Every structure is written in structure tokens, then in C-alpha cells.
């Protein structure tokens, strides 16, 4: 067999812009998609056939906010081995690309996390696309589960570390009421994907941050000033701005489904993105973990401290897609895009990731009609799940 045989993904239902369609075959060679062809295309005869058994074929999911999984927390050990374990845990839920997320920590830990992600990409750990640094430039009033004792203002060394050349995407969540537009502009101009979150900013401050380079919002509605009649707040700025992206945790716990539908209706299509904010219990049998010295327990999919503070989630991307369809009433095609092409666009990878199209990475989630993932493909390699 040649080193890069042509593989034909047959007997599947390709989920495109108009929903699932039968009779289409995806041809893959190496890491890339060669073509999407009809079932009687001559090239299929010479290809190695892979039977999808009638299941749905979706673009692989891209999660821009993953704190942990498989019993591992990125903050605890920002190493290549940790990243490999987290990516493997999420792969069983159709996640083919992720931004491992370091929540508020020391400058030393932030540097270690950036280095680990660079090394993981260098070593071609499947699924690692970059890093999401969530904090420590946040507002105490909206700290959530973050350790406010570690909050600080960015200094020159922070900016230097974040804007240095890195192997993958660097996303940074900061509070616009803590970080000046000048620094936001410097980070954005250097290629950092700057987003707002854990902030007590008002509308005007958030608007100024958007003008300076903020391009999105971390877990919209949570840990930010709400929309009110005479005080639009961060939420109002997010919904009012036509260009920014909004991460949505669709687990039924972080945000009410009706509130999520309002955001989706308000934003232009393509600007609402499914995220998990996943913690170690995802892909693990252990519902307990320790975060900032606090014991967190996952019960009924809700991760909370003893004081009842939400601490990330127990959500996976297959569950997010399922909830978007069943809880929010979205078409499968749109839920699929919210988990693939839209996040790819947010982080600037939409020319190579997030779609089933010729020339794109061969990243797929193979799901049955109950939204259970059967296989996950990353760069043309199939990983059976069940």
C-alpha cells in the first residue's frame, strides 16, 4: 500500500450548509481532503474505502476554551504530556482542534503554558491549535472561580511573552476595565486574538476596547456586566457590535436557553461559537478535582465549588452540538458550523480548518442520530470511539 493512499469515506451523510445529504463521498489523501464527489465517481474504485455505516459526517469540532479533560487540568501541569492527555480525552467527543486554556496563574506558569503548547505543536500532538490564556488581567468584581489574588495589570514582560513568535494561535481573555486600549491595540496588532471577559466594564469602555482590537467575548453573559435598559454593559456592547464573536456555553446551566436564543438572534450569522469551558471530569470517571485550592465536584454535569460558584463545565463539544439542536432549536447544519467553521474563522484558521471541502484538513466527527460520536478523524487519521 502506498504511504499516502487515497481514502474514500463512503456510506455517510455529509452535513453541509443544507443539512445531511446522502450520496456524497469524501476523498482524503494524507492530512487533506482531496475532493467531495458523487458515489459513482471513477476515483472511488481505486481508493481504500472506509464505510461510515450511514452515520452523519460533520467537520471536526474546534473548541477555543478547554481547561482540562481526562482527569487532567492544564494549570496543574502545563506540559506536552498534559496536552496530549486532554486532547485525547476530548477526541472521543468529536473535538479535532482546541485551544488549551490556562486560567489565571503566575507569570511563570503562563510562560510554561505557552512553551508547552509550542512544543506540543512542534511534536505534532493531534488537535493542539494554540493556547487560550484566560487571565490574569481580569476584574475582581467579576472573578468567578478565578483566584483574584493573582490578578494584576499587564507589564512590558507580559506583552513581550504574549506577542513573541509562537507556533499556534494565542487567544487572551482580559478585562477592558483593567487593560488600556493602547495595550489592547499592541496585542491585537501583534496577532494575539484579544477577547473580553471577567469584566465589570460599562458599554463605553467595552466599545473603546472593541475599537482598539478586542474581537470577541469569553462565555457571553457569564462574568460580565449585563444588558439593562439604560446601561447596556458588556453584554449590550457584544450584541450591538456586528463584527465580534461570542463564545456560548450551551449546557443549560451557565445561561438560560431563551437568553442564548436572544444572543443568536441578535448577532450576525457566524458570530456565535460553541465552547465547552471543560474541566477535568470531561472524559473521566472522576467527578472531583481541585482548582485554586478549592474542591470542585461535578454533579449532573454542573461543576461547582462548595460555595456554589460555577467552575468551568462538564460539557463536551458533541453535547454542545446536541444541546444547540435540542435545547435551542437550531438546525443541525447551523449547530455544526457553530462548532467548526465559526470558531475556525474566529482564530484565523478558516482557510484550512472547520469545513469539509477540498484542500482543508481531513478533520471529521462521525456521529449517529443520537449525537453520539462514533469516530473522530484528525489530519486524516481515524480514531474509533465506540
Task: Outline where DSSP puts E strands in 31-79.
Answer: 32-38, 48-51, 56-59, 61-66, 68-69, 72-73
Instruction: Please confirm, yes or no, whether 202 is among the known catalytic residues.
Output: no
| 8 A C-beta contact, residue 173 and residue 218 | yes
- Sequence-separated (6 or more) residues with CB below 8 Å from residue 285: none
Are 6-58+357-384 and 61-346 in the same CATH fold? Answer: no
pLDDT at residue 1 above 60?
A: no
| 8 A C-beta contact, residue 354 and residue 62 | yes
Residues contributing to the annotated binding site for substrate = 145, 222-223, 230, 254, 310-312
d(CA 375, CA 385): 5
Q: Please give the mean pLDDT across all residues of the chain.
A: 96
d(CA 76, CA 82): 9
CB atoms closer than 10 angstroms to residue 353: 22
Which of 148, 213, 145 shows the shortest CA–CA distance to 179?
Answer: 213
Residue range 248-276: mean pLDDT, rounded: 97
Indicate the domain borders of the chain.
Answer: 6-58+357-384, 61-346
Q: What DSSP state is assigned to residue 323?
A: H
| 8 A C-beta contact, residue 14 and residue 24 | yes
Cα within 13 Å of Cα(135), Cβ side: 27
Residues contributing to the annotated binding site for Zn(2+) = 134, 198, 219
Residues contributing to the annotated binding site = 134, 145, 198, 219, 222-223, 230, 254, 310-312
pLDDT at residue 2 above 80?
A: no
| Model pLDDT, residue 3 | 75
Interval 154-211: pLDDT, tens = 999 999 999 999 999 999 999 999 999 999 999 999 999 999 999 999 999 999 999 9
Burial 51-88 (b: 16+ CB within 10 A, else e): ebeebbbbbbbbbbbbbbbbbbbbbeebbbebbbbbbb
d(CA 236, CA 247): 15
| 8 A C-beta contact, residue 75 and residue 103 | yes
Residue range 337-343: mean pLDDT, rounded: 98
> In whole angstroms, how far apart are CA 15 and each of 52, 155, 259, 275, 337?
13, 46, 27, 20, 10
- Sequence-separated (6 or more) residues with CB below 8 Å from residue 193: 169, 170, 171, 172, 215, 216, 346, 347, 348
How confident is residue 386, by pLDDT bands cut at 50, 70 and 90? low
Q: Catalytic residue among 105, 158, 277, 350, which?
A: 277
pLDDT at residue 214 above 80?
A: yes
> In whole angstroms, how far apart are CA 285 and each of 281, 289, 354?
7, 11, 30
Identify the H or E element spanning 210. Answer: helix 203-212
CATH architecture of 61-346: Alpha-Beta Barrel (3.20)
| Model pLDDT, residue 18 | 78
d(CA 313, CA 297): 10
- Integer-rounded Cα Rg, in Å, for the chain is 20
Interval 352-379: pLDDT, tens = 999 999 999 999 999 999 999 999 999 9
d(CA 66, CA 2): 37
d(CA 9, CA 23): 11
- Sequence-separated (6 or more) residues with CB below 8 Å from residue 377: 60, 96, 362, 363, 364, 365, 366, 383
- Burial of residue 6 (CB within 10 Å: 0-12, 13-18, 19+) is middle
- Burial of residue 295 (CB within 10 Å: 0-12, 13-18, 19+) is exposed
Give the CATH class of 6-58+357-384: mainly beta
Interval 289-303: pLDDT, tens = 999 889 999 998 899
The residues pairing with 61 across neighbouring beta strands, listed in sequence order, are: 95
d(CA 99, CA 102): 9
pLDDT at residue 344 above 80?
A: yes
Interval 10-31: pLDDT, tens = 999 999 877 899 999 999 999 9
Interval 111-156: pLDDT, tens = 999 999 999 999 999 999 999 999 999 999 999 999 999 999 999 9
Which of 243, 270, 239, 261 shows the shortest CA–CA distance to 343?
Answer: 270
Amino acid at each position: 500500500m502506498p504511504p499516502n493512499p487515497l481514502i474514500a469515506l463512503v456510506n455517510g451523510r455529509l452535513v453541509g450548509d443544507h443539512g445531511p445529504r446522502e450520496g456524497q463521498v469524501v476523498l482524503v489523501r494524507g492530512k487533506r481532503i482531496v475532493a467531495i464527489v458523487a458515489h459513482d465517481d471513477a476515483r472511488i474504485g481505486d481508493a481504500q474505502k472506509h464505510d461510515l455505516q450511514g452515520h452523519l459526517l460533520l467537520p471536526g469540532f474546534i473548541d477555543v476554551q478547554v481547561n482540562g479533560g481526562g482527569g487532567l487540568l492544564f494549570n496543574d501541569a502545563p506540559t506536552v504530556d498534559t496536552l496530549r492527555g486532554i486532547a485525547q480525552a476530548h477526541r472521543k467527543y468529536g473535538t479535532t482542534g482546541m485551544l488549551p486554556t490556562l486560567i489565571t496563574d503566575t507569570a511563570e506558569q503562563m510562560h510554561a503554558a505557552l512553551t508547552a503548547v509550542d512544543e506540543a505543536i512542534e511534536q505534532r500532538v493531534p488537535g493542539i491549535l494554540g493556547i487560550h490564556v484566560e487571565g490574569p488581567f481580569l476584574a475582581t468584581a467579576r472573578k468567578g472561580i478565578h483566584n483574584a489574588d493573582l490578578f494584576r495589570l499587564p507589564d512590558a514582560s507580559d506583552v513581550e511573552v504574549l506577542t513573541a513568535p509562537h507556533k499556534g494561535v494565542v487567544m487572551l481573555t482580559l478585562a477592558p476595565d483593567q487593560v488600556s486600549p493602547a495595550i489592547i491595540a499592541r496585542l491585537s496588532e501583534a496577532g494575539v486574538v484579544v477577547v473580553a471577559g471577567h469584566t465589570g466594564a460599562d458599554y463605553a469602555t467595552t466599545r473603546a476596547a472593541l475599537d482598539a482590537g478586542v474581537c470577541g467575548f469569553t462565555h457571553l453573559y457569564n462574568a460580565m456586566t449585563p444588558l439593562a435598559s439604560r446601561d447596556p454593559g458588556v453584554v449590550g456592547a457584544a450584541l450591538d457590535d456586528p463584527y465580534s464573536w461570542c463564545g456560548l456555553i450551551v449546557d443549560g446551566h451557565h445561561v438560560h436557553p431563551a437568553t442564548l436564543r436572544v444572543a443568536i438572534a441578535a448577532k450576525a450569522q457566524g458570530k456565535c461559537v460553541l465552547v465547552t469551558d471543560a474541566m477535568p471530569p470531561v472524559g473521566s470517571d472522576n467527578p472531583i478535582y481541585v482548582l485554586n485550592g478549592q474542591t470542585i465536584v461535578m454533579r449532573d454535569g454542573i461543576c461547582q465549588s462548595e460555595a456554589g460558584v460555577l467552575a468551568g463545565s462538564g460539557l463536551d463539544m458533541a453535547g454542545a452540538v446536541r444541546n444547540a439542536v435540542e435545547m435551542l432549536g437550531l438546525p443541525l447544519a447551523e449547530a455544526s458550523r457553530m462548532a467548526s467553521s465559526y470558531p475556525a474563522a474566529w482564530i484565523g484558521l478558516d482557510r484550512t480548518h472547520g469545513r469539509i471541502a477540498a484542500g482543508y484538513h481531513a478533520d471529521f466527527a462521525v456521529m449517529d442520530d443520537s449525537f453520539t460520536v462514533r469516530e473522530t478523524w484528525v489530519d486524516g487519521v481515524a480514531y474509533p470511539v465506540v
